[in-house]
Structure 1
């Protein structure tokens, strides 16, 4: 694959079409980076300070940019002309939408840090298998976050 912005765009348009035809769901930007690296492309070197999100917003004539209304990090692309909206969140997710102000009302003696980490892990548990496969958090980092100061 040629190392240019146009080749990134062509690769992504094709991959977006393939994902849509196979599963009728967006091609997630979180998967695009690893896919480009597998193809020998470092998009950061080619695009410079322009992130993938901004790059594809600027090329809306080739693919449609989709962002989840609640999970702002869930960003995907669908083929041009396809109408798609992420489904609304299930009511069970509402418990994770608390403001940080409410953290002090946590359960029976659990520390504030442990509560925050457990809420974060609960959110990770809601990711679909494809998204979850891209999340890597070293256990020493989790252990450090759980330590009392």
Structure 2
């Protein structure tokens, strides 16, 4: 499917759920083949806009991720970043992909990487808690220092 294709071409198949699914599968497989990276859901709307198509007109109230997890489940895997919730993509079925842990790469190789990893894990746990649970928490700096430097 060429990006110059128009939804109004007389001999082209009309845009429906099946065609949208086929389009995303084709783009994801091609993107994976070229870059070994997931085709991010954030790429889909701009790519479709270039050819005059709106997935929202096709799907109505259905969310793109929900549509893909149902309509392409045998052909694509949905992958999500562990920290960046908006970073969601698709890879060909059978591909095991995990987004890199960018926050850990920055600190690897430092003298106290284990302590920094412990702090980041601690922050990950805290950030997952709701605001009400954190409202009355007071953590002394000495405790944070001990987590960072367990020596």
Same fold, TM-score > 0.5, yes or no: yes
Report what 1:30 is aligned to. 42
Considering only aligned residues, what root-mean-square deviation do their CA atoms show, in Å?
2.3
Report what 2:79 is aligned to. 66
Aligned pair partner of 2:60 in 40, 48, 51: 48
Residues 38-85 of structure 1, C-alpha deviation per residue, up to 9 Å, x if partnerless? 121111111000011111111311211111111110000001111111
Deviation at 1:89, TM superposition (A): 3.1
Q: Secondary structure at the match of 2:79?
A: strand
Query: Is residue 6 of structure 1 aligned with residue 14 of structure 2?
Result: no
Structure label with greater radius of gyration: 2
Residues 109-131 of structure 1, C-alpha deviation per residue, up to 9 Å, x if partnerless? xxxxxxxxxxxxxxxxxxxxxxx
Structure number with the higher helix fraction is 1
Report what 1:57 is aligned to. 69
In the aligned structure 1, how far is the partner of 2:18 from the partner of 2:50?
17
Equivalent pairs counted in the alignment come to 101
In the aligned structure 1, how far is the partner of 2:70 from the partner of 2:80?
15
Query: Is residue 83 of structure 1 aligned with residue 96 of structure 2?
Result: yes
In the aligned structure 1, how far is the partner of 2:87 from the partner of 2:56?
20
Q: Secondary structure at the match of 1:6?
A: helix
Q: Secondary structure at the match of 1:65?
A: strand
In the aligned structure 2, how far is the partner of 1:66 from the partner of 1:18?
17
When normalised by structure 1's length, the TM-score is 0.60
In the aligned structure 1, how far is the partner of 2:102 from the partner of 2:83?
8
